[in-house]
Amino acid sequence: MRLTKQVNQNRISILTLDDDPIITSTIQAYFQRSGYQVDIENDPYNAIDRIRNGNYDILLLDFLMSPICGDQVVEEIRKFNQDLFIILLTGHKSMAPPVKTIRQLDIQGYYEKNDRFDQLELLVESCVKSIRQMRTIQEYKSDLEKAYIQTIEILRHVVESRDKETKGHSERVAVLAKEIAQELLLSPEEVEMIHVAGLFHDVGKIGVPDSILLKNGPLTNDEYQKIKGHPAEGERIIISYAPFKEILCIVRGHHERYNGTGYPDGKAGEEICLGARIIAVADSFDAMMSNRTYRKGLGFDKTIEELEKGKNTQFDPKIVDVFMQLVSKKGRSNYEQLYDYSLI
């Protein structure tokens, strides 16, 4: 056969479906000799379930079967799997479905059954080449995504390493925000999204000069405007990474205020995405509890008081109330122990 064993053993798995066991066994024996993993199935409905629950690359299936024909099998499969390569087998060319149907169902080809498998072998080889190309592209994209997120991680750590007093800030905000999201009974996906947003909410501060970020004293108006640019800068940094698209509004909006006086867009109320409203509370709690160059940490009681005072102005009152529920459940010591009060 054309393909070397080394190529064929590149994790290519085939399911062959025909209501004639002799056909499926013959195909299995033929392709297994070249190193493919080949499973057989003689019931169309079982085949659909196996593909739904399994991990097949190629499906070889007969067109005329009972109780349903091959095109109906493909139609069901395409409802949940768009990546499977499919080759339709027919007893005679005149019995094949119309070309329009083949295109609509994204069938890669059809094979007219005979005593030799040369044409089928060529069709499978073509599928294998496409599968390997797709895997190469996916691996390349995966490597790029890993490199990109590592770069953002580095930027995040650079931001915090510039100011020792903010070390651990993003991690703490991420944990607090995650707890609030869980208390709100958000879905696991939403909880994780908000947790990730907490980790990266301040990455835009990489563009703020040290002379401003570390200034021990009041900021001038120009300096404050530069600080206010960090949410939009954070959005700009992470916008190229597709999986982060769900957290863009959170990163950009975490300094918006519930009464519309925040930045960068002056949004108010529920115009501000829920994740940003959650991060705003977590971020402010951590900032007030932490020591800064220009002040000591406010302490637990004063911080809680400020959060309560900020309801309906800086903060969504519902989010503050949920955070208070968490404090009541877990106890103030659970939160106080996160901060060093030795300098207070």
Residue 329 has pLDDT above 50, yes or no: yes
pTM of the model: 0.62
- What is the per-residue pLDDT across 178-234, written as a single tens digit (0 to 9) for each? 999 999 999 999 999 999 999 999 999 988 888 888 787 788 999 999 999 999 999
Task: Please provide the CATH number assigned to the domain covering 5-137.
Answer: 3.40.50.2300
- Residue 217's pLDDT is what? 78
The catalytically annotated residue of 113, 178, 205, 267 is: 205
- Residue 116's pLDDT is what? 82
Please report which confidence band the pLDDT of residue 4 belongs to, taking 50, 70 and 90 as the band edges.
very low
Active site residue 205: yes
The residues with which 101 forms a beta bridge, in sequence order, are none
- What is the per-residue pLDDT across 80-119, written as a single tens digit (0 to 9) for each? 999 999 999 987 666 666 777 777 778 888 888 887 888 8
Look up the CATH architecture of domain 163-336: Orthogonal Bundle (1.10)
- For residue 220, give the amino acid letter: T
In which residue ranges of the chain is CATH 1.10.3210.10 found? 163-336
- Residue 344's pLDDT is what? 35
Residue 240, both tokens: 């190229």
- Residue 167's pLDDT is what? 74
Q: Which residues in 1-13 are b (16+ Cβ under 10 Å) and which e?
A: eebeeeebeeebe
Residue 126 buriedness (CB in 10 A; 0-12 / 13-18 / 19+): middle
Residue 158, both tokens: 């650079």
Backbone angles phi, psi at 85, to 5 degrees: -85, 130
- What is the per-residue pLDDT across 64-89, written as a single tens digit (0 to 9) for each? 888 998 889 999 999 999 999 999 99
- Tell me which DSSP letter residue 125 carries: H
- Residue 152's pLDDT is what? 78
In which residue ranges of the chain is CATH 3.40.50.2300 found? 5-137
